[in-house]
């Protein structure tokens, strides 16, 4: 049987405590008003976190590595990363994704609350940068060969997060 899963307790807690809800909490709300994590088979994934359903650590390592390989050659996005080596940014994004989807809490343990909009504030992120970020993330996600429901769940989050990071608009 297919059913909507209730959010894991860590997602529910972060949703309630989030200062920057656009960047930290799932924004999709189910029919009953609960935060929607996604549609999954209750028989196969009853006790699994989204992190585990996606494939755990290796999935996120590969996704983020594919993404940053593209960023390294992108003339619009690469200048947004002040560090000469993209390695530290790759590690931070991987840790964030792992924690967001129910994996290890290493990101918050090492860096505190994500505060994504605040952390991205110093960088001019316009619609072109957002669209390129999404293009590279879509390409990296396509290489993962996820089942359609998991791909959709991840993609909806990525689109929402990318839109939330835009801090320079064409009319400014």
| In the predicted structure, residue 170 carries a pLDDT above the cut 60 | yes
Residue 39: the pLDDT is: 40
Name the nearest CA neighbour of 95 among 106, 83, 111. 106
Task: Dump pLDDT digits (tens) for 16-56.
Answer: 333 233 333 333 333 333 333 334 444 445 689 999 999 99
Residue 172: the pLDDT is: 54
Which range has the worst mean pLDDT, 35-44, 63-72, 97-106? 35-44
Banded model confidence at residue 171, pLDDT cuts 50, 70, 90: low
Cα separation, 157 vs 26, in Å, equals 7
Instruction: Pull the structure tokens for residue 76.
Output: 């619009």
Say if residues 129 and 136 touch (Cβ distance below 8 Å): no
Instruction: Pull the structure tokens for residue 127.
Output: 């619609």
Burial of residue 45 (CB within 10 Å: 0-12, 13-18, 19+) is middle
């Amino acid at each position: 049987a297919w059913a909507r899963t209730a959010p894991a307790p860590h997602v529910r807690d972060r949703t309630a405590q989030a200062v920057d809800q656009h960047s930290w909490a799932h924004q999709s709300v189910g029919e009953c008003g609960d935060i929607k994590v996604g549609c999954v088979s209750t028989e196969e994934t009853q006790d699994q976190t989204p992190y585990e359903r996606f494939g755990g650590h290796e999935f996120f390592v590969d996704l983020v590595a594919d993404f940053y390989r593209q960023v390294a050659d992108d003339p619009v996005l690469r200048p947004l990363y002040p560090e000469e080596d993209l390695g530290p940014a790759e590690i931070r994004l991987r840790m964030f994704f792992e924690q967001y989807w129910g994996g290890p809490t290493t990101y918050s343990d090492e860096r505190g609350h994500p505060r994504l909009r605040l952390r991205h504030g110093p960088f001019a992120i316009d619609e072109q940068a957002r669209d390129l970020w999404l293009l590279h993330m879509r390409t990296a996600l396509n290489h993962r060969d996820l089942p359609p429901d998991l791909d959709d769940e991840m993609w909806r989050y990525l689109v929402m997060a990318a839109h939330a990071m835009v801090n320079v608009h064409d009319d400014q």
